[in-house]
């Protein structure tokens, strides 16, 4: 089972990814750089270089963990973050090849994408980030490539898989649930 947990709420995203990793004994692909938690994202110097590094590491780790993983964030987060930075900073610095590469990998090699909505009213950076994530998830849902689940809170995690179903059983049922289902 290859699962990506995506959210503009970085703390909640990390906690849910760790919980799923422990429950189903899957390796976790953690955030590649804590810079977005440590600083005000709007004041980060050269975000395009940081994001390019994050993108490359994320793709590499997803490819290396072919048998299954839980990822705290994904290339989909890269697309949303990059779009947010472009809107807030200099649109002329947009690196289109990196964005195309990120979009191509946004749902490749994934069985499930778990989306955690932004629940607290935060600054405009995180609100935009969340809205871009939702827009990209809608495009993926329309494509039908991967199951997307919107999870309102962590207490609903046990509902993702039937009781007693391990990773292999979960992989077998992943295509039978509704897309963008709110658990």
What is the reported pLDDT for 88?
64
**Blockwise average pLDDT, block size 10, the chain, 183 residues:** 89 89 88 55 62 76 85 81 70 61 69 88 82 86 83 72 46 31 33
What is the domain partition of the chain in residue ranges? Answer: 2-182
Range 83-88 contact pairs with CB under 8 angstroms and sequence separation of 24 or more = 83/128, 83/132, 84/41, 84/125, 84/128, 84/129, 84/132, 85/41, 85/44, 85/47, 85/48, 85/51, 87/128, 88/42, 88/124, 88/125, 88/128
The CATH class that applies to domain 2-182 reads alpha beta
């Amino acid at each position: 089972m290859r699962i990506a947990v995506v959210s503009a709420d970085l703390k909640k995203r990390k906690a849910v990814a760790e919980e799923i990793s422990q429950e189903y004994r899957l390796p976790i692909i953690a955030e590649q750089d804590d810079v977005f938690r440590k600083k005000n994202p709007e004041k980060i110097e050269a975000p395009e270089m940081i994001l390019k590094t994050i993108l490359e590491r994320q793709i590499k780790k997803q490819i290396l963990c072919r048998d299954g993983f839980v990822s705290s964030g994904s290339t989909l987060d890269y697309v949303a973050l990059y779009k947010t930075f472009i809107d807030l900073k200099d649109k002329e610095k947009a690196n289109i090849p990196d964005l195309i590469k990120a979009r191509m990998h946004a749902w490749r090699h994934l069985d499930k994408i778990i989306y955690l909505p932004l629940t607290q009213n935060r600054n405009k950076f995180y609100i935009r980030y969340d809205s871009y994530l939702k827009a990209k998830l809608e495009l993926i849902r329309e494509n039908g490539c991967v199951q997307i689940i919107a999870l309102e809170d962590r207490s609903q995690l046990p509902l993702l898989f039937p009781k007693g179903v391990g990773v292999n059983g979960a992989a077998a049922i992943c295509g039978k649930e509704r897309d963008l289902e709110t658990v």
